[in-house]
C-alpha cells in the first residue's frame, strides 16, 4: 500500500541518490573499460558499441517512447555523419575542436528530421512506417546520384587529426577516440533519458498508447510525434558524427535500408519498453557482430534466429527478461529459480550448440573449397567427411532438446512460486 513518506521522496523528485546511481555507475564503467580491455581490437569494438548505443537509444525515442515504427532511421545518422566527414575535409576544420563535431552532425540530423517529420508524423502506424521506408529508400538512392555529397560508391573519407587540438589531444589513437565517444554517449543517453521525463516526453508515451485520448487532453498527437521525431533525428545525427570520427569514412551503407533494419533489430532485441533496453541490445548485437563473425561466416543466421526467438517468446526483449526478475528478487525468492534454470537452460544451450554444429558442418561440407575437408569447431579439429561429428552434434541437439523439454515444466512452476508473495493464495 502507498505510504506517505514514499510520496514525499517522490515529490522532491529530480535528482536523488537512487536516480543518479545508474548514471554514476555507467560513467565509472565507461572510464574503466579501457583498463580492463586493453587490446586495440577491444577498444574498436567498444567504440562501435558506444555509437550503436546512441543510435539505438535515439531509435527507441521513436519506437519505444513514441510508438513510431521507422524503417529509415539510418538516414538521419548517415546524413549527420556525411556532414561531419565533409567538414573534416574543409580548411575551417583546423579551427574546430574535434569533440564538438558530433554536435554538428546532430544539428543536421535534426534539420533533416524536421523536414521529413513535417509530413511523416501526421499519422503513426502503417502510414508512418511506409513513409519512413520510402524516404529511407529515396535518400539511399540519392547517394549514388548526388555524388558531390555522398561520394558515390566509394563514399567520402576524411582525417580527424586535422581538427584543432583539444587541450593538446589530437585524437591520433583509438583510446582518445574512445573517451570522446564515451563522453558523447553519456551526455546523449542522459539527455534522452531526461527528455523522456519532460512533459513532451510523457505525452509521447500517451500518444503512443492512445493518440485519440491525448487529443482530448489538449495535445495535438501530430505535434507530439513531430517533437519526438526531431529529437530522435538530433541524436541519430550525433551517432553519425561519432561514426565519422571513429571510422573517418562514410558510404552509402551508412544510410541504406539494411542499416535501418538492423537498428530496429538491435532495439527490439534489447527491449523497447525499458529505457536501457536498447543499450543491452546494442551491446549484445555488437558482440555478436564482431566476436561471432570471427568464428563463423554465417553469424547473421544466428542473429536472425535470436531475433525471431525474441519476438516470439520475449517480446519485451532482453531488458524485459531482466526486469521480469525484479519481482522474485524483491520477494527474496530468486533462489528457487537457480536449480530449475540450470537443469533447463544447460540442456537448452547444449541443444543449440548441437544444432549450430550441424549447421556449421553442413555449411562447410557444401561451401568449403574442393578438397578442403578439415574444419575446426568448438576448438576441435575434424574432417567433415567423417561420420562422428554429425552423430555427436545430432545427439547433442536431440538429448538437449529432450532434457530441456522435460525440465521446462519444473521451471514454469518455480517461476510461478517465485513470483507469488508469501500468504497470497495461488
Partner 1 sequence: MTAALDIQGLRKSFGQTEIIRGIDLSIGRGERHAIIGPNGAGKSTLFNLITARFPPTSGSVSLHGRNLQGLAPYQINRLGLSRSFQITNIFPKMSVFENVRCALLWAQGYRYSFWNMVSRSRALTEGAEAILDQINLLQRRDLPAGVLSYAEQRALEIGITIAGGADVIMLDEPTAGMSHSETDYIVELIRTVTEGKTLVMVEHDMGVVFGLADRISVLVYGEIIATGKPADVRANARVQEAYLGAALEADH
Q: Which residue has the cell 560508391?
A: 153
Selected binder of partner 1 within 3, 92, 167, 212 (CB under 8 A): 212
Name the one range near partner 1 by CB under 8 A: 6-14, 24-32, 140-148, 181-189.
Answer: 6-14
Nearer to partner 1, 194 or 308 (CB): 194
Nearer to partner 1, 119 or 223 (CB): 223
Query: DSSP readout, 387-417?
Result: SHHHHHHHHHHHHHHHHHHHHHHHHHHHHHH
Q: How far apart are CA 157 and CA 251, in angstroms?
A: 9
Selected binder of partner 1 within 130, 175, 206, 408 (CB under 8 A): 206
Nearer to partner 1, 210 or 300 (CB): 210
4 forms part of the interface with partner 1 (CB under 8 A): no
Q: How far apart are CA 80 and CA 242, in angstroms?
A: 9
Report in angstroms how near the CB of residue 218 gets to partner 1 at its nearest.
3
What nine digits make up the cell of 205?
508515451
323 forms part of the interface with partner 1 (CB under 8 A): no
220 forms part of the interface with partner 1 (CB under 8 A): yes
215 forms part of the interface with partner 1 (CB under 8 A): yes
Selected binder of partner 1 within 44, 114, 205, 296 (CB under 8 A): 205
Selected binder of partner 1 within 120, 227, 286, 289 (CB under 8 A): 227
Q: Which helix (H) or strand (E) holds 312?
A: helix 299-313
Q: How far apart are CA 372 and CA 420, in angstroms?
A: 57
Q: How far apart are CA 403 and CA 380, in angstroms?
A: 25
Nearer to partner 1, 211 or 389 (CB): 211
Q: How far is CA 197 from the centre of its chain?
A: 21
Bridging pattern class, strands 249-250 and 374-377:
unpaired
Selected binder of partner 1 within 3, 17, 39, 218 (CB under 8 A): 218
Nearer to partner 1, 160 or 208 (CB): 208
Nearer to partner 1, 91 or 212 (CB): 212
Q: How far apart are CA 80 and CA 261, in angstroms?
A: 18
187 forms part of the interface with partner 1 (CB under 8 A): no
What is the length of the chain? 426
Phi/psi of residue 370, each to 5°?
-60, 135
For residue 200, the tally of other CB atoms under 10 A from its CB is: 15
Name the one range near partner 1 by CB under 8 A: 20-28, 194-202, 261-269, 289-297.
Answer: 194-202
168 forms part of the interface with partner 1 (CB under 8 A): no
Selected binder of partner 1 within 1, 17, 312, 369 (CB under 8 A): 1
Nearer to partner 1, 11 or 17 (CB): 11
199 forms part of the interface with partner 1 (CB under 8 A): yes
Report in angstroms how near the CB of residue 61 gets to partner 1 at its nearest.
12
Q: How far apart are CA 102 and CA 89, in angstroms?
A: 15
Please give the sequence-ordered ranges of beta strands (E in DSSP) within 185-274, or none if there are none: 249-250
Nearer to partner 1, 43 or 272 (CB): 272
Selected binder of partner 1 within 44, 157, 174, 210 (CB under 8 A): 210
Q: Of 345, 339, 341, 381, give the one whose Cα is nearest residue 364.
A: 381
Range 9-68, binding partner 1 (CB under 8 A): 10-11, 13-14
367 forms part of the interface with partner 1 (CB under 8 A): no
Is 355:363 a contact under the CB 8 Å cutoff?
no
Selected binder of partner 1 within 42, 169, 186, 200 (CB under 8 A): 200
Selected binder of partner 1 within 203, 337, 396, 404 (CB under 8 A): 203
Distance of CA 255 to CAs 113, 215, 235, 246, 368, Å? 14, 34, 15, 17, 33
Write the CB contacts of 254 (distance below 8 Å, at least 6 apart in sequence). Answer: 74, 77, 78, 81, 82, 240, 243
Report in angstroms how near the CB of residue 333 gets to partner 1 at its nearest.
21
Beta bridge mates, 375: 382
Nearer to partner 1, 203 or 318 (CB): 203
Q: How far apart are CA 292 and CA 302, in angstroms?
A: 9
Name the one range near partner 1 by CB under 8 A: 219-227, 333-341, 350-358, 401-409.
Answer: 219-227
Report in angstroms how near the CB of residue 55 gets to partner 1 at its nearest.
21
Three-state DSSP state, 223 = helix
Binding site for partner 1 (CB under 8 A): 1-2, 7, 10-11, 13-14, 194-195, 197-203, 205-206, 208-210, 212-221, 223-224, 227, 231
Amino acid at each position: 500500500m502507498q505510504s506517505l513518506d514514499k510520496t514525499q521522496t517522490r515529490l522532491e523528485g529530480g535528482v536523488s541518490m537512487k536516480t543518479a546511481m545508474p548514471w554514476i555507475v555507467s560513467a565509472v564503467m565507461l572510464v574503466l573499460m579501457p583498463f580492463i580491455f586493453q587490446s586495440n581490437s577491444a577498444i574498436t569494438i567498444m567504440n562501435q558499441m558506444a555509437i550503436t548505443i546512441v543510435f539505438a537509444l535515439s531509435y527507441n525515442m521513436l519506437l519505444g517512447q513514441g510508438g513510431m515504427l521507422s524503417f529509415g532511421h539510418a538516414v538521419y545518422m548517415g546524413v549527420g555523419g556525411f556532414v561531419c566527414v565533409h567538414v573534416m575535409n574543409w580548411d575551417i576544420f583546423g579551427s574546430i575542436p574535434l569533440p564538438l563535431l558530433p554536435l554538428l552532425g546532430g544539428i543536421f540530423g535534426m534539420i533533416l528530421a524536421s523536414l521529413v517529420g513535417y509530413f511523416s508524423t501526421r499519422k503513426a502506424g502503417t502510414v508512418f512506417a511506409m513513409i519512413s521506408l520510402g524516404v529511407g529508400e529515396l535518400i539511399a538512392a540519392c547517394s549514388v546520384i548526388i555524388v558531390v555529397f555522398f561520394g558515390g560508391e566509394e563514399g567520402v573519407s576524411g582525417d580527424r587529426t586535422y581538427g584543432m587540438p583539444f587541450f593538446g589531444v589530437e585524437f591520433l589513437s583509438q583510446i582518445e577516440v574512445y573517451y570522446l565517444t564515451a563522453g558523447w554517449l553519456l551526455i546523449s543517453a542522459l539527455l534522452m533519458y531526461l527528455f523522456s521525463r519532460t512533459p513532451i516526453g510523457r505525452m509521447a508515451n500517451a500518444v503512443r498508447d492512445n493518440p485519440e485520448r491525448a487529443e482530448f487532453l489538449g495535445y495535438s498527437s501530430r505535434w507530439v510525434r513531430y517533437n519526438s521525431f526531431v529529437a530522435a533525428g538530433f541524436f541519430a545525427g550525433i551517432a553519425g558524427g561519432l561514426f565519422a570520427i571513429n571510422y573517418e569514412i562514410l558510404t552509402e551503407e551508412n544510410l541504406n535500408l539494411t542499416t535501418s533494419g538492423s537498428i530496429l533489430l538491435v532495439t527490439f532485441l534489447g527491449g523497447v519498453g525499458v529505457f536501457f533496453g536498447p543499450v543491452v541490445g546494442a551491446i549484445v548485437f555488437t558482440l555478436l557482430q564482431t566476436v561471432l563473425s570471427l568464428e563463423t561466416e554465417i553469424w547473421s543466421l544466428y542473429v536472425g534466429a535470436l531475433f525471431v526467438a525474441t519476438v516470439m517468446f520475449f517480446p519485451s526483449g532482453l531488458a524485459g527478461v531482466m526486469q521480469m526478475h525484479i519481482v522474485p528478487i524483491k520477494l527474496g525468492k530468486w533462489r528457487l529459480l537457480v536449480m530449475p534454470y540450470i537443469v533447463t537452460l544447460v540442456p537448452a544451450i547444449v541443444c543449440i550448440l548441437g544444432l549450430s554444429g550441424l549447421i556449421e558442418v553442413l555449411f562447410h561440407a557444401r561451401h568449403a573449397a574442393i578438397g578442403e575437408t578439415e574444419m575446426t569447431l568448438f576448438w576441435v579439429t575434424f574432417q567433415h567427411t567423417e561420420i562422428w561429428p554429425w552423430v555427436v552434434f545430432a545427439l547433442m541437439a536431440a538429448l538437449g532438446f529432450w532434457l530441456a523439454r522435460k525440465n521446462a515444466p519444473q521451471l514454469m512452476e518455480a517461476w510461478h512460486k517465485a513470483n507469488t508473495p508469501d500468504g497470497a493464495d495461488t
